[in-house]
Structure 1
Amino acid sequence: MLYIVTLLILITDQLTKYYADKLLKGNAPYVIINGFLQFNYVENVGAAFGILKNKQLFFIILTFIVLIGMVLFMIKNKRLNIYMRWGLVLIIAGAIGNLIDRIRLGYVIDFIDVKFGSFYDYPVFNIADCAIVIGTILVSYLVLFDKYETTGSEW
């Protein structure tokens, strides 16, 4: 089941980026909810929030190392509960989605643009980023509260 979820996240991520490229690139943002949500094509040559711009080789190598480490961690630790496995799978799927862009294009396509009126304009992101953030929040919670291994009875 975890493999299927990984594949579904990858397909959804790559399809939405494909359509963002075809429909949004070179066009004005497509407003969904005025002052809150729009689709806006952005080529991100950095990491989260555009930091470390034009360091694609660094990000590719780092992503491979982290992915290998996470997969080995999951294989080696048979006591990880299903919630921890789901969190790690979300991170892995998102990382692979953005890695595909970095290798194929030299940048990551971002297109989901959330604003909170004139108060705050959140950096543009994509489906892979959503998976990474949700997975990271889940894994962080489980590690902080020591709930990442099976105990015979899941919480």
Structure 2
Amino acid sequence: MIKKNPFPFFLLTVVLIAIDQGSKLAVHHYMEPGFAGQVKLIGDWFKLHYVLNPGMAFGMQLGYEYGKLLLSVFRLFAMVGIGYYLVHLAHRGAPNGLLWAIAMILAGAVGNVIDSTFYGVFLHNAPYGSPTPWFHGQVIDMIFVDVWEGFIPEWVPVWGGQYYSTPIFNIADSCIFIGVCLILLFQRRFFGGFDPEDGMLPTSGPDATQASVLPMSEVEEESTPTPAHSDRTDESTDDTRRNDIHGVSATPTIPKED
């Protein structure tokens, strides 16, 4: 098993968090919320649009009094769990692509945790009537890919009859989305020869860092004797036992010449 240093992957996480937080603070200080401060970047479909999101990614939320608090606590535990899993996979020699993807997901989780935990206190954007500003901060969203808007048909369950537009999101949401898509698209490459628990074993070589690796299943197959080899071994053992019974040495002796 070739252990990898998780530092480069955590470094990517830190860089993405800095970009995410920098963009959110810039939008908060220099843009007006809503359509009044909207900025068109590419035509009429790619815009910056400042909105506050009290819930989860893409505006989803839990609709009861302590839903936001539970969501924030869940995000904290998820952040710790993802970070631990990243270290776990790195120490077991996981493919770099998988580690980069998880580092992106971790960056997105941490970015939104910062919003939920601190923005209600330092940016004073907790919803009116929140039990406490801590853990009730609203996430700042600004990326608006405006490709469709309108009313959803009445026959559609849950959302039928409601006005809908393309969700507005942020850098943290993008990191989570891209990381998950990478894992789904390349899961056979990431997990084809890798077990998150057993990792991958290096083959013999003078330099462990340059040695190729084999999946655990292949190592077990190589260490298991073939049926033909096993039969030959059994026959040799039986011949030796018969010779011992009759007082015949299994190894012929060559008489010495005078």
For normalisation by structure 2, the TM-score amounts to 0.54
Counterpart-to-counterpart distance in 2, 1:74 and 1:8:
16
Aligned to 2:25: 18
Structure 1 unaligned regions, length at least 5: none
Q: Kindly report which structure 2 residues correspond to 1:55-134, keeping only aligned pairs within 5 A, or say none.
A: 55-77=67-89, 78-105=92-119, 106-116=137-147, 121-134=165-178
Counterpart-to-counterpart distance in 1, 2:87 and 2:15:
21
Counterpart-to-counterpart distance in 1, 2:140 and 2:100:
25
Most deviating of 92-101 and 109-118: 109-118
Higher RCO (C-alpha under 8 Å, 6+ residues apart): 1
Aligned to 2:190: 147
What SS does the corresponding residue of 2:79 show, helix, strand or coil?
A: helix
Deviations 1:60-113 (A, max 9, x none): 211122222222222233131111100110000111011101111211000011
Partner amino acid, structure 2, of 1:92: L
TM-superposed CA distance for 1:46, in Å, is 0.9
Number of positions where the alignment pairs a residue of Structure 1 with one of Structure 2 = 153
Counterpart-to-counterpart distance in 1, 2:148 and 2:54:
26
Aligned to 1:49: 58
Partner amino acid, structure 2, of 1:73: Y
* Closer/same/farther in 2, CA of residues 107 and 42 from structure 1, 3 Å limit: same
The answer (yes or no) to whether the contact 2:78–2:109 under 8 Å persists in 1 is no
Counterpart-to-counterpart distance in 2, 1:66 and 1:133:
16
Most deviating of 59-68 and 84-93: 59-68
What SS does the corresponding residue of 1:109 show, helix, strand or coil?
A: strand
* More helix per residue: 1
Counterpart-to-counterpart distance in 2, 1:140 and 1:94:
17
TM-superposed CA distance for 1:127, in Å, is 0.7
Partner amino acid, structure 1, of 2:139: V
Partner amino acid, structure 2, of 1:102: S
The alignment's C-alpha RMSD in Å is 2.4
Identity of aligned residues (%): 26
Structure 2 unaligned regions, length at least 5: 1-7, 120-136, 151-163, 201-211, 214-258
Larger radius of gyration: 2
